[in-house]
Structure 1
């Protein structure tokens, strides 16, 4: 059982003891801290907060706790009910709200839930603002309003439909061409709100949809992280239904992955690559992803005459870098697409529209599209260290050893070699160093990871 507090919110497993898990008391405490922050940030006695949730089993309970806590703090609430993370992000500025809270544990299993916190732009809080909320929660420095100052609730039940219309209205969405293409897709909605949003968007674009796990009950039929090992049913369904491709999302619909017409994974790293290829063909400019994302994005960006930039891991860091370099598209290699012309948040609906539009231009099967991009393979491993081991010093020694290489130290250490790279960063929650590698073959990626595991262990021994 776990409770994890971070600058972007609080997440944990349902049940257990307060302070150790996400219990009702913890939900109330952090909702109260957010209310204190937003009232101080806005100077308003009755700020407006948008709330939406995914379909997980605990969602209704957590929403009731959070919503009524905000009311007790004098906040007015815009209740979107079942929603998606990008839908809430869009709703905050559209409703002229002062902030938002998304109730979702993203790709985590059903026993998890979380409060994800947004500012008045519908973007995740930065480190400074997030820390203020953590400090307030720790001190339990709350002040609830008297009865005449209680907040109000305004329900809007069609915001997913509004979100879909916003995607249809994007100039880059080739509605007529998609309708004429006559695509057939299988959608795995993991029994959450993606099962509402993605089929509806596809049908609005004239796409024939075969629904797989699209009933938003919160009973996830498989591990909800959209990885190959969890998507056997989708791969089989694409083949058996003779579909053009398959679509899957995580429970809050900010991560997107595809399956090609043969039932093979397109690769979640390549979701952003394909969408960037499409956008850069229409809007010249720069791209951004985090340090642990595929080099293929850099290759595609440079092919279109743009410049690729890397950001520290974390959506808020990617967004800030995108703003700094005026990127036309960016995101994360986990299937997260960020398109500033829509909003600064990962959005699977935006990604689906881009991918369908790209296919109308390429006029080739999805497997052939994947083969047209530079092929890289990733390895993800970790080194477990003794509690108290000086992780920063160990990474500093690695940086010194490879100082003559193309090295980045904005988030751990990333070493770019000619044909491969390794990224080493410490965990914020346990004594380990995570190791990400990429190379031209899986064997080479794994060998590179094993090589640095050995080097890190050797350096660690010197610090014993």
Structure 2
């Protein structure tokens, strides 16, 4: 039922009001208070109502944040002394999708144990329904104001001019926060609309071309872009360059390491992260790899020596503040960096390497991956199977892993020169093709 980012899928097929009701009942078994919020998708209204009904008929009070960024909802759980939070969102997915993401008081998404328990309760129909006169209450809360107060603690000595592309999502808190911090803010796609008419929800380089062009033609210090629920942040430099996820990760991580007082600090990143991050941090810190997915990065970020966690897709976690990916926090912190020194200059300092990513369609990705792992572990020494099969070399690495949602096997290869990158990729591709044909 749960993927790495909660429950997510097409509305009316995988995600229904009946499912939301069941999840509400399952949460209500041991929760007295639950924070609920949603992104702008129209289907979110009925899913929120169904989820709330399941909670209230279990005697659970619902604290309704209304239309709110996912990190706003996640942060409000601890603030309101609730046992859990639920974001009704499909994040960066297209408009036909929706979903439910569950949060702990620490801001961390439900871990595997808690996800499995909710799944079991839904599967077995377990609930704890109460009499008519003991139903939970539903009341509105201003979680956005609380989030704004937290973001207001960030210092921007010389407030900058900023352009923010909200992608018609729920990230308006970023605009409010930057304005409170003294920045001049221009917006794109600022009207919340779950059909995402301005651009697709995911803030990729292709989808953010209008933002890039506007920043290039202006005097803005930075361009910022969120997805539908604002848990992700991507950015454009002052000279109009869309910053790759790996480089942005390196910038954030390097700053977090510099600010920390932890001995031998670690930065948590997924196994498909570029060598650029390792090299940018050395020798001050080192990376610790996780499975792909911000929930796994957050789990590793609970370790005391981890000072930052991030995914190149745009999820950024400062564990000293919260264990949820907080796009508005990342936005404010990046503006603070841009106000101190040009982002274009900072990006130029990060050395990048040739990297190639492609996917191969398969009918039996489980069987293919089993055969790939057997062959690779027999031929190579530095093999890791944390998430797929990764082989590390002195001058590069290659990763083969199954897609979590599609009938695909993904191949990623990176090396410090083009020829070596191509050689690694071609070798991995040949192994996958051979495994597919057997």
One of 193, 213, 223 as aligned partner of 2:189: 213
1:385 equivalent in alignment to 2:362:
yes
Give how far 1:428 is off. 3.9
* 2:211 aligned counterpart, secondary structure: helix
Normalised to the residue count of structure 1, the TM-score between the two structures is 0.87
Provide the C-alpha distance between the structure 1 equivalents of 2:23 and 2:286, rounded to a whole number of angstroms: 40
Give how far 1:443 is off. 7.8
- Between 1:390-399 and 1:252-261, the stretch displaced more is 390-399
C-alpha offsets along residues 29-82 of structure 1, whole Å, 9 cap, x if unaligned?
22222323x34xxxxxxx100111112222222211211221112110111111
Give how far 1:8 is off. 5.4
Give how far 1:115 is off. 0.7
Report the counterpart of residue 43 of structure 1 in structure 2.
none
Kindly report which structure 2 residues correspond to 1:105-120, keeping only aligned pairs within 5 A, or say none: 105-120=90-105
1:256 equivalent in alignment to 2:233:
yes
Does the 8 Å CA contact 2:377/2:383 hold for their aligned counterparts? no
1:10 equivalent in alignment to 2:3:
no
* 1:390 aligned counterpart, secondary structure: helix
* 1:423 aligned counterpart, secondary structure: strand
Report the counterpart of residue 44 of structure 1 in structure 2.
none
Report the counterpart of residue 42 of structure 1 in structure 2.
none
- 1:28 and 1:445, CA in 2 relative to 1: closer, same or farther beyond 3 A? farther
One of 159, 174, 181 as aligned partner of 2:155: 174
Provide the C-alpha distance between the structure 1 equivalents of 2:354 and 2:58, rounded to a whole number of angstroms: 50
1:128 equivalent in alignment to 2:125:
no
Does the 8 Å CA contact 1:71/1:152 hold for their aligned counterparts? yes
Provide the C-alpha distance between the structure 2 equivalents of 1:321 and 1:388, rounded to a whole number of angstroms: 27
- Between 1:72-81 and 1:236-245, the stretch displaced more is 236-245
The unaligned stretches of length 5 or more in structure 2 are none
1:234 equivalent in alignment to 2:211:
yes
Does the 8 Å CA contact 1:256/1:271 hold for their aligned counterparts? no
Report the counterpart of residue 297 of structure 1 in structure 2.
277
Provide the C-alpha distance between the structure 2 equivalents of 1:145 and 1:287, rounded to a whole number of angstroms: 46
- 1:203 and 1:442, CA in 2 relative to 1: closer, same or farther beyond 3 A? farther
Structure scoring higher RCO (CA < 8 A, sep ≥ 6) equals 2
- 1:100 and 1:442, CA in 2 relative to 1: closer, same or farther beyond 3 A? farther
Aligned residues: 434
Give how far 1:422 is off. 1.5
Provide the C-alpha distance between the structure 1 equivalents of 2:420 and 2:28, rounded to a whole number of angstroms: 50
Normalised to the residue count of structure 2, the TM-score between the two structures is 0.92
Give how far 1:128 is off. 1.8
Q: Over the residues paired in the alignment, what is the CA RMSD in angstroms?
A: 2.2
Provide the C-alpha distance between the structure 1 equivalents of 2:230 and 2:288, rounded to a whole number of angstroms: 25
The unaligned stretches of length 5 or more in structure 1 are 40-46
C-alpha offsets along residues 160-211 of structure 1, whole Å, 9 cap, x if unaligned?
2321221222xxx333x133xxx212110011111x1121121122111111
